[in-house]
Amino acid sequence: MFGKRYSGLLTDLYELTMAAGYVGTDGAAGFTEARATFELFMRSLPARRNFLVAAGLEQALDFLGNVRFSGEEIAYLRGLPLFRNVSPRFFDYLAQFRFTGDAWALPEGSIFFAEEPLLRIRAPIAEGQLVETSLLSILHFQTLIASKAARLFSAAAGRPVIEFGSRRAHGSEAGVLAARAAFIGGCAGTSNALAGHDFGVPAYGTQAHSWIMAHEDEAEAFRSFAELFPQDAVLLADTYDVRAAVEKIIALGRAPRGIRLDSGDILGDSMWVRRRLDRAGWTGVQVLASGDLDEDHIAALLHAGACVDAFGVGTSLVTSADAPHLNVIYKLAEIERGGKARGVAKLSEAKKTYPGRKQVFRFRDAEGRFCGDIIGLEDEEFAGAEPLLAPVLRGGRRVDTAAEGSAAIVCAARERFLLNREHLPKRLLSLEPLQQAFPVRHSERLEALFDQVRRTFVQSASI
Amino acid sequence: MFGKRYSGLLTDLYELTMAAGYVGTDGAAGFTEARATFELFMRSLPARRNFLVAAGLEQALDFLGNVRFSGEEIAYLRGLPLFRNVSPRFFDYLAQFRFTGDAWALPEGSIFFAEEPLLRIRAPIAEGQLVETSLLSILHFQTLIASKAARLFSAAAGRPVIEFGSRRAHGSEAGVLAARAAFIGGCAGTSNALAGHDFGVPAYGTQAHSWIMAHEDEAEAFRSFAELFPQDAVLLADTYDVRAAVEKIIALGRAPRGIRLDSGDILGDSMWVRRRLDRAGWTGVQVLASGDLDEDHIAALLHAGACVDAFGVGTSLVTSADAPHLNVIYKLAEIERGGKARGVAKLSEAKKTYPGRKQVFRFRDAEGRFCGDIIGLEDEEFAGAEPLLAPVLRGGRRVDTAAEGSAAIVCAARERFLLNREHLPKRLLSLEPLQQAFPVRHSERLEALFDQVRRTFVQSASI
C-alpha cells in the first residue's frame, strides 16, 4: 500500500477552510500577500526521553516540492457543502498550488530538545497553512522512531540492534520509514526489504518458525537452510526446544553464522548456548536475541550477563511503545503584511508560544561537549555558539542542488547522530529521566519580544 | 507521501530467504507444490480491550491482488550477498509472482476476540510466506484503531466523536487509514481531507489558533470567518481567553454552528459557555471539545456534567496511545504435500498455537445477544452457531465481484460494527478490564488435533 502520493488533501480540512479565508477574502483583509513564519517544534519531551533525534526532513522536503491538488480532488472539495460560499478564485488557486516558500531545518540526525524548532517555514500564509498537517506527521513520526532507536543503541552497549518491526508498525509506510529512522538513530539495519532497496539501510533476516514447522524434521529444516545460505544462515532455535535444537545444529557439523533465540528464558538459554557453541569450537557463531525486547529488557539482560551478540527489536521500536507520540506543534510565529512584520504568540500559560523567527544556538565546553542551547532570534549572534537551523528551501527550491542519493543522505544523518551523541553530556544517555535536563533557554531579545506582544494584546483588549 | 505501491519488497527479508528455500530447493524437499494454510490472529488482547473490531481487509485484499516485484527490485535482491547461492529460478519466480491462493476473513466491522483468525490464507507455501509482513501490518493497524475508536464511541455516550489525529499519526498513510478505521469503529467523521475523498468518511473542520493569531483583532477573525462559512463555522475560543472570546462571538450577532474549546478547563468553560449561549438565545449553537482527549477524559467530563455536544479526538486515537500495538501473529497451521495434509503447531507453552484450518462459530442467547464463540475446524458444524469467516479470495481473485465503491464498503463495515456492538453483552462495553472475558474456547476436535500433533512430535523426537 505504501508509495508516493503528494496529494494536497493530505491535510486536516481546517487548513483548507483557513486557506479559503486567506485567499478568497482579500480586499479589506489583505491576506493574499501576507507572508507567515511557522515553526515546528516539541512543546515538551516524554518523561523517558532526555533528547530527541531529528529525522524525516528528506520526506518533508519531498512533500513540499511535490504537493499538488488534482482536478478531481478539487472537484471533491467544491462538492462539500462547507465550501458552498467560497469564491471560485480559491479553487483556481488550488489548481495552481505550489509551495513557493523558504525553509530552515535541523539536519537529520541532529540531537535537539523541547521548544527548539525542527523546521521553520516562511511562505505566503495560505501555503504555510496548507502544508501544516503533512509536515507534522512526516517529521513527528521519524523523529519519534529515531529517538527511540537512540535509547536501544545506548542499552545495547556496542552490540548491533536490528529493527524487526514492520509487521506491527502502523501500516506499510510506517514500517519502511521506521526502518529509515531507526537506522539514523543508531540501529545497524532492518528486516524491511523495501527500506533496504529505497534507502540503502542494511537488510537482515534469515528464517522464521514457519520454516521449521513446514518441515517434518527440525534437523532437516536446519540442514537445507544452511546449505542454501552457507555464509549467512542464522538458525532459529526456539520453535520446540532450544537445547535440543542447538544439538541438532551442532550435529550438522557446519557452523551457521548465528543462532537466534526468539522466546523463553533468553538469559539462561543464551548462556547455555554460548557455552555449548564454544565447547563445539564454534566461538565465532553469534547468538542473536529477539522477541518483544525493548531497551529496558536489553539493559537488564546484559547487566545479568546474557551472552547475546546482537539484538532484533520490533514492536517496541517501530511504535515507540512507551511513548507512542511526541508533543509536536506547528505554530504561527510572525506575520508580514503591508511591509510590516508582527510577531505573534499564544499567551495562555499552559500553551504559551514565543513570537518571531527563531534560531537555535548551541554552546560547547572546553572539551567540545554540548553544554547548553539558546533559542534566539534569527539575526542574533552568540560568540562561540553554533547556529543549528540551516536553510533548506529558497522560493520553494532545494538549497542543496547536489544530487545525493537517498542512501548517502541516510548514512550522513546516522553519522551526524553518532557524532552528536559523542558530544552529549554522558548523563543524558541514561535510560531514566534526569533530575536536571539539558540547559535550554530563550534569549533576552526573545523574552522581550514576547513581553511586547503580550503588552500589545493587553492594550488592544482594554481599549 | 502516501499512495499505493504494492511492492513485493514490502516484507521482512526472511520471507524472501524462506521463499528462496521453498522455490529454489525442490527435488528432494518438494516444497514447490506444497500448499500451506496460514492464520492471522491476536495471541491475546491488551488489558484495556474487551473486544476488537476487524478493519483493514479491503487494503489487505488490494495488496494481495496487486503485489508485484519489479525488475529493478529483483536486481536489488540479486545484488545482496545473502542471495549469492540462490538459484536464478527463484528470481524468475519473483518476476512472475502473483498471489494465487484462497482467503477467508472476518468482514470489516466484525467484533472478535483473542485467538480467533481474522484472516486465513491457503496458498502455495512461498506465496503465503511472502505476503505475511504486509498482511500483518495492514490488518494490525486498522484493527488497532477501530478497536480504540469503539472505546471512544462508548465513552461519548451518543455524542459524535470526530477523529482529529492526522498530524500525530505514524506518517501520512497512517493518518488516512486511521481515519478510515476510526469511522468503522464508530467515529462520526475525520479532519483528514484525503480520507474524505478516498473513502467517503465525513470530513469536518473549520479553524485553528493560527487563524485567530494571524488577525490583529480576535473579533475580526471571528467575523470574517463566520461570513465565509455562515452555516458551518465552528469558532475556536481558547487562543487568548475563552470567556472574552465568547462575548466577542455573541457581539457579532450571528450564531455560528459551534464553539470549540481546545485547552484549559473544559468542564468549567463548557458549562459557562453553554449557559452564556443559552442566555443569548443561541440554544442550537454546539460546544465542541478537543485537545489531548481520550476515552477516560471524555467519560470523566460527561460524568461531571460537562456541556459538550461533540468531541474531537486526535493523538490518543490515531496512535491508540494506551495500547499502541496488538499481539498479532501469522502462523502456519497446516501444510499439504504429496496429497497429504499435516496440521502443525508451536508447542512451547508460552507461544502455543493450534493446528488445522479454523473457523469461528458464534452463539447467541434467546434474546439474540452474543453469548460465546467456539474456534473449531473449518468443516465442523454447531447447531445455532454462525460461522464468521467468509471466503474472500478464490485462486487469487475476489469472491465478491460486485463493484462496490470504497465509501459503500466503509459504511457497511461501520454498520456491521454498530450492529455487532448492540448484540454484545453490555458488560463488555465497560472501559475497564473485565473480571470475566467473553467466553471463547477451542472445539474438542481442535484440542484432539493439537494433542495428536504433539504426540507425533514427541515420538519423532524420541526416535
List the pLDDT tens digit at each of the 463 positions of chain B. Answer: 677 789 999 999 999 999 999 997 654 456 888 999 999 999 999 999 999 999 999 999 999 999 999 999 999 999 999 999 999 999 999 999 999 999 999 999 999 999 999 999 999 999 999 999 999 999 999 999 999 999 999 999 999 999 999 999 999 999 999 999 999 999 999 999 999 999 999 999 989 999 999 998 999 999 999 999 999 999 999 988 999 999 999 999 999 999 999 999 999 999 999 999 999 999 999 999 999 999 999 999 999 999 999 999 999 999 999 999 999 999 999 999 988 999 998 877 777 899 999 999 999 999 999 999 999 999 999 999 999 999 999 999 999 866 567 899 999 999 999 999 999 999 999 999 998 999 999 999 999 999 999 898 766 655 4
Would you say residue A300 has pLDDT above 70?
A: yes
Interface of B with A in 59-98 (CB under 8 A): 59, 62-63, 73, 76-77, 80-82, 84-86
What lies within 8 Å, CB to CB, of A141 at 6+ separation is A56, A174, A177, A178, A181, B169, B170, B171, B174
What is residue A81's predicted lDDT score, i.e. its pLDDT?
A: 95
3-state secondary structure of A53: strand
Q: What is the mean pLDDT of residues A262-280?
A: 97
User: Which of B438, B154, B435, B113 shows the shortest CA–CA distance to B296?
Assistant: B154
Q: In chain A, which residues have their Cβ closer than 8 Å to the Cβ of B207?
A: 14, 17-18, 21
* Residue B95 lies inside a defined structural domain of this protein: yes
Here the CATH number for the domain that contains residue B304 is 3.20.20.70
Has the ipTM of the complex gone over 0.85? Answer: yes
> Among residues B260, B294, B318, which one ends one of the domains?
B318
Query: Which amino acid appears at position A289 of this protein?
Result: A
Looking at the fold, whether A138 and A212 belong to one and the same domain comes out as no
The distance of B439 to chain A (nearest Cα, Å) reads 27
**Phi, psi at residue B64, to the nearest 5°?**
-60, -35
Locate the chain A residue with the closest alpha carbon to B226.
Answer: A21
Same domain? For B188 and B268 the reply is yes
Residue of A nearest to B197 (CA): A76
B167 touches chain A (CB under 8 A): yes
Same domain, A170 and A272: yes
Reported residue count of chain A is: 463
- Chain A contact present for B23, CB below 8 A: no
On whether both A172 and A314 belong to a single domain, the answer is yes
Give yes or no: residues A136 and A250 share one domain: no
Q: How many CB pairs under 8 A join A and B?
A: 372
Asked whether residue A125 is domain-assigned, the answer is yes
pLDDT level of residue A401 (50, 70, 90 thresholds)? low
Residue B194 with chain A: CB contacts under 8 Å: 7, 9-11
Name the minimum distance, in Å, from the CA of A74 to any CA of chain B: 10
Question: What is the residue range of A37's domain?
Answer: 13-144+323-462
Residue type, B80: L
C-alpha cell at B355: 493446528
B324 to chain A, any CB pair closer than 8 A? The answer is yes
Shared-domain flag, residues B300 and B173: yes
CA A113 to chain centre: 14
Residue B257, domain member (yes or no): yes
For position A395, which CATH number holds? Answer: 3.20.140.10
Our count of domains for chain A comes to 2
End-of-domain residue from the set A301, A318, A335:
A318
Supply angle C-alpha B37, B443, A262, rounded to 5. Answer: 50
Residue A2 resides in a domain: no
> CB-based contact (8 Å) between B369 and chain A?
no
Within-domain flag for B31: yes
Residues B305 and B391 occupy one common structural domain: no
- Nearest CA to CA, how far is A317 from chain B (Å)? 11
| B225 and B363 housed in the same domain | no
A106 and A52 share one domain = yes
User: What percent of chain A stands above pLDDT 70?
Assistant: 96
Asked whether residue A208 is assigned to any structural domain, the reply reads yes
Could you tell me if residue B5 is inside a domain?
no
Same-domain check for residues A165 and A123: no
| Distance separating alpha carbons of residues B240 and B446, to the nearest angstrom | 63
Pick B136's closest partner by Cβ from A164, A167, A325: A167
Domain identity same for A181 and A307: yes
Does one domain contain both A181 and A294? yes
Q: How far is it, in rounded angstroms, from Cα A210 to Cα A215? A: 9
Q: Residue B325: closest CA among chain A residues belongs to which residue?
A: A168
Q: Confirm whether pTM is higher than 0.90.
A: yes
Helix (H) or strand (E) holding B25: none
Write down which residue in B296, B318, B340 finishes a domain. B318
Q: Is residue B3 part of a domain?
A: no
Q: Under a CB-based contact definition with an 8 Å cutoff, are residues B169 and B175 in contact?
A: yes
Contact B176 A10 (CB under 8 A): yes
